[in-house]
Structure 1
Amino acid sequence: MTVTVVAPAANQSGSGGKTTTPTPAHRDATTASGVAATAVDGFPADSVLVALDVLGLHPDLVVSGINQGQNLGPVVDLSGTVGAARAAAARGIPAIASSLGFADSFDYAPGVALVVEWVGRHRAELARDAASTGPRASLANLNIPNCAAGGEIRGLRELPTQRSVPDLGTALSKQDCAAGAEPAEEVAAFNAGFATLTELPTTSPTMAPPASATLPASG
């Protein structure tokens, strides 16, 4: 497996699927962990377009994230992480957006393990689709609870996106990985310590947060 990193040069939280005209500049860079990468002076979705149209890459899968902060429920389409994955899916490339929940500290290892597990579980399907000349777009959205306050991830729930909640703040809350609840809906399940996996449409509906909503830096 070959992994190529192409990412925005700066934080682009809440940019959704925005793109830049003309195509933004890019340059060689290195990630914080020392991996060679390409930095793009634009939005997350721009990074996908630069990878495909400028660098000429032909990925079998695009992994967007892992973002710092969850992207689920009614705020999902505001996410630049989801926007990048959706840009790939719109071009017929399977994609997964991945996000780690809000907390006072961030340990990405559990999230990495879940993403790798997802890729392994779908590897044959992805390889088969890569060899196909037909449509193969799919868009998965994985949110990983942050158990920094205690407990551990309680499992993975595959659920539909919860497009509305009584209180928008619940979609942006810290998670309780020591909870005993067994919720059946996406946001509550995530807040109770379950990783959630949803399938999203490859085109974004028009969405905006309520006028009174204040969104933290996430994306």
Structure 2
Amino acid sequence: MGDEYIAALGGAGGKGNRFFLANDNRAPVTCTPGQPGQQRVLHLELKTVAHAGMVGFSNAGKSSLLRAISNARPAVASYPFTTLKPHVGIVHYEGHQQIAVADIPGIIRGAHQNRGLGSAFLRHIERCRFLLFVVDLSQPEPWTQVDDLKYELEMYEEGLSERPHAIIANKIDLPEARANLSQLRDHLGREVIALSALTGENLEQLLLHLKVLHDAYVEAELGKGRQPLRW
């Protein structure tokens, strides 16, 4: 933050009329031309910056979840790839603390090979400090979604899948989802936050865990002598 980068150097300036001003030449009309500067063609790539990045396959309910916990209003629909660019929402806590959460567009299998818009989506995850893996709990064998998502992230950038994260099991309001919850927890062997972005069920647990992840990130950055990202 605040870094400067010189993309191209300007040429040496010429000498203007003032340089030739003298007692016997009070109105000089002489000048020398300047030298041309560098010319470069640059391709700039914008990467969304946020504390948390929501990662999941298309229609996992990421946009609905972001709308439920923040002030963001991304489009929500029942067809795939509703979100074509990241949306960032701000989650507010007591003491004027704010946590930025990014809704990363849906990833597909093979995204690391740039299938679909893979690289265009995956690059935004690089700038997120911790991750929320959002799983559609109503789908058969939902644990495979977590495995596949981590694989795509790891193939794109080594170590990306190992960033601090939480597993969010969405759509708990559906009967078939509740039946899959215990199997998901058994397969993953870790805590799973089961909730419904549609009904708001158990959103409080997500907000509490999000705060825990954020506080751990802040502590780690300060411990390294760096300033954490602030909004």
- Please confirm whether the aligned pair reaches a TM-score higher than 0.5, indicating the same fold: no
Q: If the length of structure 2 is used for normalisation, what is the TM-score?
A: 0.31
TM-score normalized with structure 1 length: 0.32
Q: Pick the structure with greater CA Rg.
A: 2
> Could you say which structure has the higher helix fraction?
2
